[in-house]
Homo-oligomer: A and B are copies of this chain.
Amino acid sequence: MSAAPGEPPAAAETPEPAARTRPARGAAGARRPVYDAESLLAVAVAEFNTRGYDATSMEDLSRAAGITKSSFYHHVSGKEELLRAALQRALDGLFGILDEPAAQDGSALARLRHLIGRQVQVLTTELPYVTLLLRVRGNTDTERWALTRRRAFDATIASLVADAVADGEIRAGVEPSVAARLLSGTVNSIIEWYRPGRVGSEQLPTDVVRIVSEGIIPPA
Residues of A within 8 A of B (CB): 50-55, 135, 137, 139, 173-175, 178-179, 181-182, 184-186, 188-190, 192-193, 200, 204, 207-208, 210-216, 218
**Which of chain B's residues have a CB closer than 8 A to the CB of A182?**
186, 189-190, 207-208, 211
Checking B53, B55, B185, B211 against A179 with a beta-carbon cut-off of 8 angstroms, the contacting residue is B211
* A185 and B190 form a contact (CB under 8 A): yes
- Copies of this protein chain in the complex: 2
Determine if A50 and B137 form an interchain contact, defined as CB atoms under 8 angstroms apart: yes
A107 → chain B closest CB, angstroms? 19
Residue of B nearest to A189 (CB): B185
Whole-angstrom CA separation of A190 from B189 in the bound complex? 11
Question: Which of these, B51, B54, B192, B218, contacts A185 with CB under 8 Å?
Answer: B192
Given A185-B192, A211-B215, A215-B216: 6 more A-B contacts, CB < 8 Å: A51-B54, A52-B137, A55-B55, A184-B189, A189-B189, A211-B216
Complex CA gap A212/B200 in Å reads 22
A215-B212, A215-B215 given as contacts; is B178 within 8 A of A204 (CB)? yes
> Which B residues lie within 8 Å of A186 (CB)?
182, 185-186, 189, 216
